[in-house]
Structure 1
Amino acid sequence: MHGGEKVTAAQPDAAQAEWLAKLHKQLLSDDSIQFDLPAYVQPKTPEWLKPLGEFLKSLGPYMIYLFWGAVITGAAIILLLIFLEVKGVAWRLPWWRQKSVTEAEATWHPDVGAAQVLLSEADALAARGEYDEAVHLLLRRSVADIAGRLPDFLRPSLTARDIAGAASLPTRARGAFTQIARIVEAALFARRPVGPEGWQEARSAYERFVFRDAWT
């Protein structure tokens, strides 16, 4: 109201009213718009879940004790691990131990110094014409090297052929050992003397077995 004048709201004319009614009707007939929303119904707890809910509910008064029990247990474990580290006691989880064993096998190599001494001894035998003994010496040393790599694999009942077929041996090391074992078997069972050629073949195989990255 201003200056004593009475203000009235503007009323739509007939054309506008008809247009609004038509627009409202179109809006109501649009199926993509939902006007009647269903009332919210709280989902019913499945029967199989009710025992768990009751169990958790029964633990309610004791949750504080469970919480502090877990905290104390965790702190005790941490203190124990720190104590073991300070004392230098080695500890590993089972899967860590398996990984350590695998890594140790992957990085293991025969003792090169011992192999050189052995070759000198075998060369001395071969120089005296004792080729069979020289090749046997190489075979025994090769078996000892394999025992260093696979201590749980070797058993007294295994033959050289069994050892040569071990899938856990690297391919090149297995091939070199197989060649030495074949020469020894021929001398033992076929009564075929090793001779200079057999000796040189076995010696070359042992060099590959030890010195030429056969274990990588």
Structure 2
Amino acid sequence: MGLRLSDSQTDASVSASAAAPSNASVTQDSLTSDQARSLIDKVNGSGYIQTHFTQVKPPKTEMPQWLKDLMHWLGDVITAIGKILAPLGPIMPWLIYLLVFALAMLVLSPFVRMLIRQQIERFLPRDVMKPETMWRPTKDAAAALLHDIDALAAKGEYDEAVHLLLLRSVADLNAYRPDLVRTHYSSRDILSHPLLPADARPAFGEITRWVEMSYFAGIRVGREGFDACRQAYVDFVAIEGIG
């Protein structure tokens, strides 16, 4: 940012340093007012210091014609709607309240939600299979899971064992029906999902119940809860040699 020297800036050291070598003979003590003015004009005229600033006008921006036409058309539409609704002006607030109430009741209706869910599920590729299709984990997977939770239970870590049982069960369900388990689903969402196999629902519900009491209510699972969840899983697996 440039600065313009003024008459008040006639300090001898500033003027002498700004002057060209040809003015070196002019000493600090012999500077007069005219000589200082001459030095100031010479420095300002040398072009090394910016003393004037050009005012740049911003470019003119004009609205496109198509946007003008669109705004004009929207204005006509709003005006026409206003004329149509003008007779309903006194009762318009009550009509709005009634419409909001009807929409709220419609959204909260279990029947409407069921219909919406069915329509959504119909168009999702992951929901091609029927919910009543029989399904069981493989014998090796079930045996490995029981081995892991028994190891935790042997150390008294019943809460961790039941939680592991839930996580593995969710993973098995997701492997059976890819992407059935969405990232935002809770255990209850999976339990109430219409495409959860009916034969898996009792065991999954029992495991979910104990995990919720442990993690959200602070109730320790203990041996009783572990045995209940383990037995529910074994009954669901129902493979000879497991348990």
> TM-score, normalized by length of structure 1?
0.48
Decide which structure has the larger Cα Rg and report it: 1
